Amino acid sequence: MIFSTPIFLFGFLPFFLLAYYLAPARYRTMILLIASCLFYGWWKVGYLVLVLAIASLSFVAGAVATRAPVHSQRVWAVRLGIAANLAILGWFKYAYFIAGSYDDALTRLGVSQDSGLSFPEIVLPIGLSFLVFQSISYILDVARGDAPPAARLVDFLAFSSLFPQLIAGPILRYKDLAHQFNHRVHSLAMFATGARRFITGLAMKILIADSVAPLADRIFALNTPTLAESWLGAGAYAIQLFFDFAGYSAMAIGLGLMLGFKFIENFNAPYISQSITEFWRRWHISLSTWLRDYLYVPLGGNRGNAFKTYRNIILTMVLGGLWHGANWTFLLWGIWHGGLMALERAMGIKQRQTVWPRVIAWPLTLTFVLIGWVMFRANSVSQAFGMYAGMFGHNGVAMSTELVLLTRPTEVICLLIGIFLALAPTWSNHLSIPAWMGSLPTFNRARCLALFVFCAVVIQARGDAPFLYFQF
């Protein structure tokens, strides 16, 4: 089920909220778990069993890690719990990639394909990467004593399958929500704030991301894009991805507030960053902090010499790139960002906001980001380098007449609106209005209602459009 569909907006969500708030407080977690199972099982019931199995396994590993009488048993509980999570993720996400890379290597060596690897059809469960990272953080947190173990299995299953964020984050940590399962605050003001965040996220997805998506797809499908086409395509994808993913995060945070939960913010105007290091403090915050706490720091962080610090930065970003998908493009994207962050570290980014000359810090950083997004978006490394050739003017400069004719005015208008909102420090305020009008409750309610109705009309006209991060 997808947030931006009529079945969710006018079927699942209102009936769930009605059942949730009519039920006594002690039953609300169970209702949330049942609703989350229905939400995920709507896609594939069989994979719902997998989600619950991963959560149960992590719950048991955490319990053993804190209660086993022998230290070695606690250590092995942590190791086996993490290994099992990674093995499941590896099978579903990387089996084809490993097999394909192995077969390609055999072909280049002239070895018969009879020696290659083959696997049965594998469908990646939606949200598996997010679930595995959340499970690993739970096991490590309770083993270190940084978080209390879940007292009840139902609480942890509800946390692991929490439908507002299960599919595409933010990546939550149980220690941040543990007390909220026992003492959630429900109020009309909190619910109204959540509803506004949800509608804002819905508008980001429907009105901006989905409107710009055809333009980005059209340009990335070109065989020989020109300079203007390549940079336009990179910019369009940057806006599409940001408003798609940040829109989902806003919707998830809004749904959480409607249910009494406070989730971590996941974006903070990333396209105004003055360096790549700052960009990763603002983009996908729940992932970047997870990589820092559970990968970069355990690798040694900056505790060793300069070489080890740079190595740890690059390795962290490479693994973060591979987390997004099983493709060489993601690995190279991770190397690109990791290499730039290591370079900025060598230039002294730790002591100041940016190491680049102030005049060019923002445009240079944005250029680095756009170059990276090309590799991230491309289906293959060769397609990415085809775009790069166009960005350097190898295929000409101007846009082709055909592309100009195919580009709709609404795509350009929404792209320009997206650029304005993304570069404004207060981008989350999707409408720029006078302060006195924004302070009027009646105006705020009317604005949200009008925006929701407009989104609903557009949804009915366009049909379903899955979020980009579903594939990760």
Catalytic residue among 71, 179, 324, 337: 324
Determine the Cα–Cα distance for residues 279 and 281; give it in Å rounded to an integer: 5
DSSP 23: S
Average pLDDT, the chain: 87
**Amino acid symbol at 25:** A
- pLDDT at position 416 is 95
Q: In the chain, what are the domain boundaries?
A: 6-184, 190-274+356-471
Q: pLDDT tens digits, residue range 74-90?
A: 889 999 999 999 999 98
Determine the Cα–Cα distance for residues 328 and 180; give it in Å rounded to an integer: 40
| Average pLDDT score over residue span 98-113 | 69
In this predicted structure, the answer to whether residue 165 has a pLDDT above a threshold of 60 is: yes
Phi, psi dihedral angles at 146 (to 5 degrees): -80, -15
- pLDDT at position 79 is 93
In this predicted structure, the answer to whether residue 323 has a pLDDT above a threshold of 60 is: yes
In this predicted structure, the answer to whether residue 444 has a pLDDT above a threshold of 80 is: no
- pLDDT at position 314 is 96
Is the backbone of residue 219 left (phi > 0), alpha (psi -120 to 50) or beta?
Answer: alpha
Determine the Cα–Cα distance for residues 385 and 380; give it in Å rounded to an integer: 9
Determine the Cα–Cα distance for residues 368 and 385; give it in Å rounded to an integer: 15
Is 324 noted as a catalytic residue in this protein?
yes
The residue count of the chain comes to: 472
Q: pLDDT tens digits, residue range 365-381?
A: 999 999 999 999 999 99
The full DSSP string for 319-377 is HHHHHH-SSHHHHHHHHHHHHHHHHHHHTTTTTSS-SS-HHHHHHHHHHHHHHHHHHHH
Q: pLDDT tens digits, residue range 397-413?
A: 999 999 999 999 999 99
In this predicted structure, the answer to whether residue 257 has a pLDDT above a threshold of 90 is: yes
